[in-house]
Amino acid sequence: MTDGDLIARYLAGDEQAATELVRRHTAALARFLAVQGAPDDELDDLVQDSFIKAFRGLGSFRGGASYRTWLLAIGANLLKDRRRQWRKRVAVELTPNLPDHSGDPAGDADAGWAAEKLADEIGKLPRLQREVFLLRAQQGLEYGEIAQGLDISEGSARVHFHHAVKRLKESVQ
C-alpha cells in the first residue's frame, strides 16, 4: 500500500493508516534530524511533533512530492524553530570511538575528527543548502523529488547541492 493510499485512508478515519505511516517514516525522520544535531533527549519529541504537524497539514499536502520528503521538510522546519532554544546546549555529541571499518586506527580517528567538523559545518549551511544536501546525500533522493518537496526548481536544487558540497569539502580538508 502506498503512502498516498494510507493518507487517503487516514483522512477517511482509519487510525491504523496513521500508525503505518508513522512506522514507515520514523527511522528516516529521526536520522535526518539527528544528523543535523537534534539533541538526543529532544529527538523523540521532535519526531512526534513533526508527525503531528504533518497530519494536521495533510489538507495542504500536494501529491506531487513524496510524503517522506514533505515530512522531512516539516521536521527540518521544526528543528530550525527549536534550534534557538538549544543554542546554549551541546548540539551534537560526536563519539570518537566509531566502528572501525577500515582497520586503520589513524584513519578512523581522522574520520571522527572530520565528521565532527562536518557536523559543525552542516549546521552553519543556509537552510536550503543543508536540506538539499541531506535529502540527496543521506536520503538518496532524486533532484526532482527534492525540488518538489522543498518547493524549488530542480535546477535550484542542483545549485544548492553544489554550493553545499563545495563548502563542506573545504571544512573536512
Partner 1 sequence: MNELPEDLERAFRTLDAQAARRAERVDPERVAAQVLERLRAEKALAPRVLSLSPGFRLSAFGFRLPAFALAAAAAVVLLVGTMTTGLLRRDVATGSIAVPVVAQGLDSLNQQQLETVLRVAGDVQPLAVQSFGSPAGMWDDLSETQLRAVLQAVQQVQGETL
**Which positions lie near partner 1, rule CB under 8 A?**
15, 18-19, 22-23, 26-27, 30-31, 33-35, 40, 43-44, 47-48, 51-52, 55-56, 94-95, 98-99, 111-112, 114-115, 117-119, 122, 136-138, 140, 165, 168-169, 172-173
Q: How far is the CB of 153 from partner 1 (least distance, A)?
A: 19
| Residue number, 117 or 163, with CB nearest to partner 1 | 117
Least distance in angstroms from the C-beta of 19 to partner 1: 5
How far apart are the C-alpha atoms of 72 and 80, rounded to whole Å? 12
Q: Which residues contact 135 (CB under 8 A, 6 or more apart)?
A: 69, 72, 141, 145, 146, 149, 150
Which among 82, 71, 6, 87 has a CA at the least distance from the CA of 32? 71
Nearer to partner 1, 44 or 151 (CB): 44
Contact 79, 20 (CB under 8 A): no
Shortest distance in whole angstroms from residue 152 CB to partner 1: 19
Cell readout for 11 is: 483522512
Residue 170 C-beta: closest distance to partner 1, Å:
9
- Report d(CA 58, CA 48) in Å as an integer: 15
Please, which residue, 98 or 151, has the CB nearer to partner 1? Answer: 98
